[in-house]
């Protein structure tokens, strides 16, 4: 599994707030392609059962996404973090402009797109979670875990591919060599939103 989905405090450059899909049709009398605004995803619920690991052996973090629900007024995701490392991790939503828990919408579900946009600093804006149930702990101790539901208001674009973002995580003390001191996790897995 590629680990360029771990972001170590890099500047993210340009972001976008929503999808605008270009069509092949040309406007009458012009050379520019006509654009079609995105359509909001309809209500849907998806059982995802994603489990992704950062690190190895006894020094790792495990990120889970159990399900995603989209309603007419917003979205929610059931997620979790298991700290299977020897250091504690401060869970600091909004600690950096690019680091928050929430969703990112991509044009494709391809891992290559995620890696390219991460390297280019052109990752999409995070649709930040507004609620955490239960609240995130300030510190996730070694061998501790948190699971709960994150949610926010607002429509998501149908046809977009959703990835879940966990961040910012800051090591308390010196982490093992295979782990970064600060990280933001973006899931390798992606879910395509239906109309």
Give the residue among 11, 186, 23, 176 at the shortest CA–CA distance from 104.
Answer: 186
Residue 45 tokens read as 């619920």
Q: Which residues pair with 139 in a beta bridge?
A: 90
Q: What is the mean pLDDT of residues 63-67?
A: 98
Higher per-residue pLDDT: 17 or 7: 7
- Average the pLDDT over 172-181 and give the result: 94
Look at residue 189 in the predicted model and tell me its pLDDT. Answer: 98
Mean pLDDT in residue range 78-104:
88
Q: What number is the average pLDDT over the span 110-132?
A: 95
In terms of pTM, does the model score above 0.85?
no
pLDDT at 141: 97
**Confidence class for position 78, pLDDT limits 50, 70, 90:** very high
Structure tokens at 85: 């490392």
Nearest Cα neighbor of 104 from 161, 184, 42 is 161
Q: Please check the confidence at residue 94 and state whether its pLDDT lies above 90.
A: no
pLDDT at 11 over 70: no
Residue 58 backbone zone (phi > 0: left; psi -120 to 50: alpha; other: beta): alpha
State the chain's mean pLDDT as an integer: 84
**Spatial CB neighbours of 174, under 8 Å, sequence gap ≥ 6:** 87, 181
Name the CA dihedral angle for 86, 91, 53, 111, rounded to a multiple of 10 degrees.
Answer: -150
């Amino acid at each position: 599994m590629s680990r360029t989905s771990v972001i170590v405090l890099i500047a993210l450059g340009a972001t976008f707030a929503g999808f605008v899909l270009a069509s092949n049709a040309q406007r009458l009398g012009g050379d520019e392609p006509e654009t079609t605004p995105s359509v909001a995803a309809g209500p849907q619920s998806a059982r995802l059962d994603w489990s992704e690991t950062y690190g190895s052996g006894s020094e790792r973090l495990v990120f889970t996404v159990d399900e995603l629900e989209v309603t007419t007024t917003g979205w929610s995701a059931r997620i979790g973090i298991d700290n299977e490392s020897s250091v504690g991790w401060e869970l600091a939503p909004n600690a950096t402009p690019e680091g928050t828990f929430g969703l990112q919408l991509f044009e494709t579900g391809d891992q290559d797109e995620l890696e390219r946009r991460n390297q280019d600093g052109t990752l999409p804006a995070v649709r930040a979670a507004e609620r955490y149930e239960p609240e995130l702990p300030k510190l996730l101790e070694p061998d501790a875990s948190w699971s709960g539901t994150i949610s926010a208001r607002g429509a998501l674009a149908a046809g977009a591919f959703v990835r879940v973002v966990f961040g910012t995580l800051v090591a308390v003390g010196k982490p093992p060599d295979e782990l970064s001191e600060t990280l933001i996790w973006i899931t390798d897995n992606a879910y395509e939103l239906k109309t």
